[in-house]
Chains A and B, each alone.
Chain A
Amino acid sequence: MANDAPGRPNSLFRNLNAKIASIPMIFTALVVFVGGTVWTVVYSFTNSRLLPRLQFVGLDQYERLWSTPRWLASIENLMIYGVLSLIFSLTIGFVLAALLDQKIRFESVFRTIILYPFALSFIVTGLVWQWLLNPDFGVQHLVRSAGWESFTFNPLYDQSIVIYGILIAALWQGTGLVMCLMLAGLRGIDEDIWKAARVDGIPMWKTYLFIVIPMMRPVFVTTLVIIASGIVRVYDLVVAQTSGGPGHASEVPAKYVYDYMFSAQNLGQGFAASTMMLVTVMIVVVPWAYLEFGGRNKRG
């Protein structure tokens, strides 16, 4: 029936209600998201400092942006973090979901335990893991006092591995949700599939990999959207855990944007950086979002 409404162009007055009901959405989409974005892009070509003002300086802000080592480092960090975060949260989330789907006892207990960190904010997550990874109090101290004197695990003060320290905290917070989504997907698979696979003697891992996962495409898509939007926006966690350090080893683009807009009082530079973020997101998301939601013939 989803096709009925658009299929009948004359049902104008009935759709009027839907349009009225959608006013908040239209307002948000057009005024806030599109309007805000256009506004940001326009002002990225100005030399606005503390307050936005329309004095255009061409591409100056972008030239400066791309010659700033901190921005380049931020991009690199985000790429590493993003790729690892995607791989690990999908893999761990799926494996945990598969384990929980084995008709086990205490399923709800395990599920709740794995999911609860999601209820905590990134600020809290960052603080706790900063505490746990502190070399003088946390994991390193524990292992050393257990007798392994030379044990070194100090990710928050080591430039080369600090991003993994953040990854550990992010995965702790976020895999629960991924696991839930995957579990929901697995529960949606018809039992006949399993029966058929068993009859054909296909090993379980093969069934998962070649039959079940392809069938779960919609779940993977939703999950991907949720994880990816979280990756692009990562900010609070970094601020709470490392403040971007040591050096620039855990800087991320969202932090660059915020720092330049507000603490450096250089709105133009912040807007240029956010425009670059937006452009990247658009390139990846818009084609997909259009295919997924925008096609006229597609059903929900």
Chain B
Amino acid sequence: MADVRTAVAGQADPVVVGAREPYGPRPRPVLSRRNIIVYGTLTIVALYYLMPLYVMIVTSLKGMPEIRFGNVFAPPVEITFEPWVKAWATACTGLNCDGLSRGFWNSVRITIPSVIISILIASVNGYALANWRFKGANIFFTILIVGAFIPYQVMIYPIVIILREMGVYGTLTGLVIVHTIFGMPINTLLFRNYFASVPEELFKAARVDGAGFWAIYFRIMLPMSLPIFVVSMIIQVTGIWNDFLFGVVYTRPETYPMTVQLNNIVNSVQGVKEYNVNMAATLLTGLVPLVIYFISGKLFVRGIAAGAVKG
């Protein structure tokens, strides 16, 4: 197995593309005009991208009076963590006053099985499409890609009917199925492209050795597809964690995910809008995907390179 992988690494294929050095022109002296332009532009862009995050954090640490009279960019005069506590533990939705905390665990319980199952299925799909094409496979795949363009709202009703007929409406199983279905187009596309770029010789050798569909998948394809698994995982975790529509329509109140609770907190109509609590709640909800991005950013680009370059 080990030598097989070495052989792969030796090939000029996208698996290792991300690990290569950048191909742009050579570096110039430190303070050249070009460097100033490049770094200057990037710094301004970076500041622009960071600004909303900064505003969210700053606002979430202010008290309400300060928000009303100050501007959004000013740092807090008096730092308070009350909005965070309130958003997490005491903000009310109807009669339930436990903030986002309950939704957090629901989201975890929804996200983990959905991500695992949807990625496994998409990877097998991609593998079958890339390496074992059967008659009509491409038609199904084309339908799948076109399906990526269908607005989710349009599918709500048919899916209610499908889930009802399967008898899983309102259950966690039902929600996992829905996430698997809607994550399928983009993830299948990524896996298909990735597996298609695996060198032919490798696959042929395995076939000569008598390995079948599943043997090749588990012993050759799976071990070398870490980058694309990371990409797929990131896309799915963010997508599923951030999902509001399916979470609210296909579950019951006890299992509402965090985004539904965020909506409840943010959209409370009466009284003064508590922007600080809203921002804290927003940040708390976005925390899991954000952390995943910050940790796995490098792997993400490498994986994207592998899945997207070959069309």
Q: Do the beta carbons of B23 and A194 come within 8 Å of each other?
A: yes
Report Cα–Cα, A14/B310, bound state, in Å: 26
Report Cα–Cα, A33/B151, bound state, in Å: 11
Interface string of A107-149 (1 = CB under 8 A from B): 1111111111111111110011101101001100110010000
Query: What distance in Å separates the Cβ of A111 from its nearest Cβ neighbour in chain B?
Result: 6
Report Cα–Cα, A225/B293, bound state, in Å: 22
Query: What distance in Å separates the Cβ of A279 from its nearest Cβ neighbour in chain B?
Result: 11
Select which of A34, A188, A219 is within 8 A of B143 by beta carbon.
A34
Q: Is A185 an interface residue, CB under 8 A from the partner?
A: yes
Chain A residues whose C-beta falls within 8 Å of the C-beta of B271 in the assembled complex: none
Q: Do the beta carbons of A29 and B144 come within 8 Å of each other?
A: yes
Q: Which residue of A lies closest to B120 (CB)?
A: A24
Q: Do the beta carbons of B286 and A181 come within 8 Å of each other?
A: no
Chain A residues whose C-beta falls within 8 Å of the C-beta of B263 in the assembled complex: 123
Interface string of B239-260 (1 = CB under 8 A from A): 0001110000000000000010
Give me 12 A-to-B residue pairs in the complex whose CB atoms sit less than 8 angstroms apart, sorted by A's number.
A6-B135, A21-B127, A22-B134, A112-B293, A118-B293, A119-B289, A127-B278, A274-B151, A281-B150, A293-B138, A294-B141, A300-B195
18 additional contacts (CB under 8 A) given A123-B259, A300-B310 = A4-B204, A15-B132, A17-B214, A24-B121, A25-B184, A32-B155, A32-B158, A113-B46, A114-B45, A128-B55, A132-B72, A138-B72, A141-B71, A189-B23, A218-B309, A218-B310, A221-B311, A277-B154
Q: Do the beta carbons of B309 and A14 come within 8 Å of each other?
A: no
Q: Do the beta carbons of B142 and A1 come within 8 Å of each other?
A: no
Q: Do the beta carbons of B134 and A1 come within 8 Å of each other?
A: no
Interface string of B34-69 (1 = CB under 8 A from A): 000011011001101111110110010000000100
Which residues in A have some Cβ–Cβ distance to B below 8 Å?
1-2, 4-6, 14-15, 17-19, 21-22, 24-26, 28-37, 39-40, 52, 96, 98-104, 107-124, 127-129, 131-132, 134, 137-138, 141-142, 145, 172, 176, 180-181, 183-191, 194, 198, 204, 217-219, 221-223, 225-226, 228-229, 232-233, 235-236, 253-254, 257-258, 261, 267, 274, 277-278, 281-282, 285-286, 289-290, 292-296, 299-300
In order of increasing CB-CB distance, the 5 nearest A-B pairs are: A300-B196, A218-B311, A184-B305, A121-B242, A36-B158
Chain A residues whose C-beta falls within 8 Å of the C-beta of B17 in the assembled complex: 184, 187-188
Q: Is B104 an interface residue, CB under 8 A from the partner?
A: no
Q: Do the beta carbons of A299 and B49 come within 8 Å of each other?
A: no
Q: Do the beta carbons of A40 and B25 come within 8 Å of each other?
A: no
Q: Do the beta carbons of B151 and A120 come within 8 Å of each other?
A: no
Q: Do the beta carbons of A124 and B159 come within 8 Å of each other?
A: no
Please judge, given known A-B contacts A28-B144, A281-B150, whether A111 and B282 are in contact too, CB under 8 Å: no
Query: What distance in Å separates the Cβ of B235 from its nearest Cβ neighbour in chain A?
Result: 9
Please judge, given known A-B contacts A52-B157, A235-B151, A294-B142, whether A116 and B46 are in contact too, CB under 8 Å: no
Query: What distance in Å separates the Cβ of B45 from its nearest Cβ neighbour in chain A?
Result: 7
Chain B residues whose C-beta falls within 8 Å of the C-beta of A25 in the assembled complex: 121, 125, 128, 140-141, 144, 184, 188
Chain B residues whose C-beta falls within 8 Å of the C-beta of A222 in the assembled complex: 189, 193, 308, 311
Q: Which residue of A lies closest to B27 (CB)?
A: A103
Chain A residues whose C-beta falls within 8 Å of the C-beta of B186 in the assembled complex: 226
The stretch that binds A, out of B76-84, B87-95, B296-304, is B296-304
Q: Which residue of A lies closest to B30 (CB)?
A: A105
Chain A residues whose C-beta falls within 8 Å of the C-beta of B192 in the assembled complex: 300
Number of B positions contacting A (CB below 8 A):
115
Q: Which residues of chain B in 100-142 are interfacial with respect to chain A, using CB atoms and an 8 Å cutoff? A: 121, 124-125, 127-135, 137-142
Q: Which residue of B lies closest to A141 (CB)?
A: B71
Q: Do the beta carbons of B188 and A194 come within 8 Å of each other?
A: no
Please judge, given known A-B contacts A14-B132, A22-B140, A96-B45, whether A102 and B147 are in contact too, CB under 8 Å: no
Please judge, given known A-B contacts A128-B55, A142-B72, whether A228 and B305 are in contact too, CB under 8 Å: no
Chain B residues whose C-beta falls within 8 Å of the C-beta of A129 in the assembled complex: 52
Select which of A103, A184, A233 is within 8 A of B301 by beta carbon.
A184
Select which of B48, B50, B73, B145 is within 8 A of A142 by beta carbon.
B73
Q: Do the beta carbons of A235 and B311 come within 8 Å of each other?
A: no
Report Cα–Cα, A188/B212, bound state, in Å: 32
Q: Which residue of B lies closest to A12 (CB)?
A: B134
Question: Which of the listed residues B42, B56, B266 has the most CB atoms from chain A within 10 Å of its own CB?
Answer: B42
Q: Do the beta carbons of A180 and B146 come within 8 Å of each other?
A: no
Please judge, given known A-B contacts A35-B158, A142-B71, A225-B148, whether A172 and B204 are in contact too, CB under 8 Å: no
Q: Is B9 an interface residue, CB under 8 A from the partner?
A: no
Chain B residues whose C-beta falls within 8 Å of the C-beta of A30 in the assembled complex: 140, 143
Chain B residues whose C-beta falls within 8 Å of the C-beta of A232 in the assembled complex: 149, 151
Report Cα–Cα, A5/B134, bound state, in Å: 7
Chain B residues whose C-beta falls within 8 Å of the C-beta of A121 in the assembled complex: 242-244, 259, 285-286
Query: What distance in Å separates the Cβ of A35 from its nearest Cβ neighbour in chain B?
Result: 7
Chain A residues whose C-beta falls within 8 Å of the C-beta of B238 in the assembled complex: 118-119
Please judge, given known A-B contacts A121-B242, A123-B244, A221-B311, whether A257 and B143 are in contact too, CB under 8 Å: no
Q: Do the beta carbons of B310 and A102 come within 8 Å of each other?
A: no
Please judge, given known A-B contacts A1-B200, A116-B49, A226-B186, whether A258 and B24 are in contact too, CB under 8 Å: no
Report Cα–Cα, A235/B156, bound state, in Å: 14
